Amino acid sequence: MAVTEFLKTAQGRQIAYHRHAGAGPTLVFLGGLKSDMQGTKALHLEAWALGRGLGFLRFDYSGHGESSGSFEAGCIGDWHQDSLAAISELTTGPLLIVGSSMGGWQALLLARAIPERICGMVTIAAAPDFTEDGYWQSFSAAQKSALESQGYVEMPSDYMEPFRISKRLIEDGRDHLVLRAPLDLPFPVRCLQGTADTAVSTETALRLLQHASGADIRLTLVKDADHRFSDETCLALIEASVAELL
């Protein structure tokens, strides 16, 4: 088994990663909120890429997996910095970005920051602006009051253990929204979404499709697929989407 390596960022965070050299473009997998680089989709795509001699990078955001820091202290901007640091320090040449859930939001932030390096993008249940449109807008008055008074609220989840959402995550999220201003995706994009996803709605996928501008953006809906999007059918669709863009 490959040994985890670590990258120290300009902000002093230690980012755990696995990198494999190969032909370009390099595939970069961006995981979801509270997920890590050992997930089914990340490992499956890594094996698929290595079998074809492609470069591949997966990593843990700070506060996730093997990286330094606590989840509760992090925010969208921190994880964007982590993504930029990993990509700039650990890859060269063109990139094919694969972003899952919150990683889809991170992928879209990369499209704004380094569009010249991205040759294609696949999103899986992308969750752009979820801190505002998902959390904040659904919070009750009591939850908003708790966020202000104690700095966090406890959140249940269908896909993981209950966790805390911090005031910083909500406030920082507003500085990184991508669905309120023009979003140019000047490369092929394939968006994948399950209709049984209870964490990210089909409406979110349609909103992203309608909002983004680009000559080659497509959305595929998979009936009855949930947020994990990790059964054999879904994994095969991820493979096919990446292969098409290659």
Question: Quick one: pLDDT at residue 98?
Answer: 98
Q: What is the pLDDT of residues 1-16, one digit of tens each?
A: 579 999 999 999 999 9
27 lies in which domain range?
7-245
Please report whether residue 178 resides in a domain: yes
Q: According to the model, what pLDDT value does residue 163 have?
A: 81
214 falls within a domain = yes
Question: Quick one: 199 exposed, middle or buried, by C-beta within 10 A (0-12, 13-18, 19+)?
Answer: buried
159 pLDDT band, cuts 50/70/90, is low
Q: Is the CA virtual torsion 152, 156, 157, 162 positive or negative? A: positive
Does residue 109 lie in a domain region? yes
Tell whether the model's pLDDT for residue 160 goes beyond 70.
no
**How many residues would you count in the chain?**
246
CATH number for the domain that contains residue 99: 3.40.50.1820
- Res 156 pLDDT > 90: no
- Using one digit for the tens of pLDDT, what is the confidence trace for 90-124? 999 999 999 999 999 999 999 999 999 999 999 99
Instruction: State the pLDDT at residue 12.
Output: 97
In a domain, 176, yes or no: yes
The answer to whether residue 1 sits within a structural domain is no
* Contact yes or no for 106/173 (Cβ under 8 A): no
- Check the CA dihedral 30-31-36-40 and report its sign: negative
Quick: pLDDT tens for 216-239.
999 999 999 999 999 999 999 999
Position 161 pLDDT exceeds 80: no
- Counted domains in the chain: 1
Q: Is residue 2 part of a domain?
A: no
Give all strands of the β-sheet with 189-194 in edge-to-edge order.
Answer: 5-8, 14-20, 54-59, 23-30, 95-100, 118-124, 189-194, 217-222
Tell me, yes or no, whether 211 lies in a domain: yes
Confidence class of residue 197 from pLDDT cuts 50, 70 and 90?
very high
Question: Does the pLDDT value for residue 31 go beyond 80?
Answer: yes
Residue 182's pLDDT is: 96
Tell me how far apart the terminal alpha carbons of the chain are, to the nearest angstrom: 27
Express as a percent the part of the chain with pLDDT over 90: 93
> Is 170 among the domain residues?
yes
pLDDT tens digits, 44-102: 999 999 999 999 999 999 999 999 999 999 999 999 999 999 999 999 999 999 999 99
CA 178 to chain centre: 13
